[in-house]
Amino acid sequence: MLLNQIHKNIIECGTDEAGRGCLSGPVTAAAVILPLDFESVFLDDSKKLSRKRRYYLRSLIEEQALDYHVSHVMMEKIDQINILQASILAMHQAIDGLKLRPEHIAVDGNKFNAYPDIPSTTVIKGDGKYLHIAAASILAKTYRDDFMLQIAKEYPQYDWENNQGYPTKKHRAAIKKYGPTPYHRMTFRLLPDQTALDL
């Protein structure tokens, strides 16, 4: 059973990102403030859930959250500042978008740049420990998936509707055949070293 939040009886937001390991598309983050009495037996780290359950939970979170916001950081910025800093920027932007100001920020992972005037705590595997971080992971994942589905219509050969931009064999074969698109992250290794053997 996931815990509600790190500090009890204060306004605390959870934040998480999705898409760090992708070759294309944005990195997306969400910040979520849940009611202190929020309960869901299904809410968990988005990576452990089926697509259908993630979208069901997204509706529940959006309906019951005290506040939430989702932010994309696009490929050009990722290439400019690197994926770690882009992930943190996306989380900061998601927090910026909250109308309700949190008194504390719970961050998934172990890297975060201090947010102005609000204390924060990083939690390794926090999306499997705290409800608000798990909720943020679900919003980040589903909104990013929605973005990838949209651009998949523009570039159907890359199979983004199935791989969401991750480095699958099919995705890399398409890059090799057709080259990169404006949605690819040019500072990422889009193709593996050709010295590697396919065994």
Each residue's pLDDT tens digit, 61-73? 999 999 999 999 9
Looking up residue 138, the CATH number of its domain turns out to be 3.30.420.10
Helical axes 51-64 vs 131-154, angle rounded to 10°: 120
Note whether residue 7 is domain-resident.
Answer: no
Contact 70, 146 (CB under 8 A): no
Note whether residue 168 is domain-resident.
Answer: no
In angstroms, rounded to a whole number, what is the distance separating the alpha carbons of residues 170 and 163?
9
In angstroms, rounded to a whole number, what is the distance separating the alpha carbons of residues 154 and 56?
27
Q: Domain count of the chain?
A: 1
Residues 185-192, mean pLDDT to the nearest whole number: 90
Note whether residue 43 is domain-resident.
Answer: yes
What are the Cα distances from residue 176, in Å, to 152, 163, 171, 183, 192?
17, 16, 9, 15, 10
pLDDT per residue as tens digits for the range 91-126: 999 999 999 999 999 999 999 999 999 999 999 999
With the C-alpha atoms ordered 154, 156, 162, 165, is the resulting torsion angle positive or negative?
negative
Q: For residues 101 and 198, which has the higher predicted lDDT (pLDDT)?
A: 101
pLDDT per residue as tens digits for the range 132-163: 999 999 999 999 999 999 999 999 999 999 99
Give me the domain span that covers residue 122: 12-150
Note whether residue 175 is domain-resident.
Answer: no
- pTM, rounded to two decimals: 0.93
What is the pLDDT, as a whole number, of residue 77?
98
What average pLDDT is seen over the chain? 94
In angstroms, rounded to a whole number, what is the distance separating the alpha carbons of residues 159 and 31?
29
Note whether residue 41 is domain-resident.
Answer: yes
When pLDDT is cut at 50, 70 and 90, the band that residue 193 belongs to is low
pLDDT per residue as tens digits for the range 38-62: 988 888 878 889 999 999 999 999 9
Note whether residue 182 is domain-resident.
Answer: no
pLDDT per residue as tens digits for the range 84-94: 999 999 999 99
Note whether residue 2 is domain-resident.
Answer: no
DSSP result, 66-131? SEEEEEEE-HHHHHHH-HHHHHHHHHHHHHHT-SSPPSEEEEESS--PPBTTB-EEEETTGGGTBH
What is the pLDDT, as a whole number, of residue 45?
79
Note whether residue 89 is domain-resident.
Answer: yes
What is the pLDDT, as a whole number, of residue 199?
35
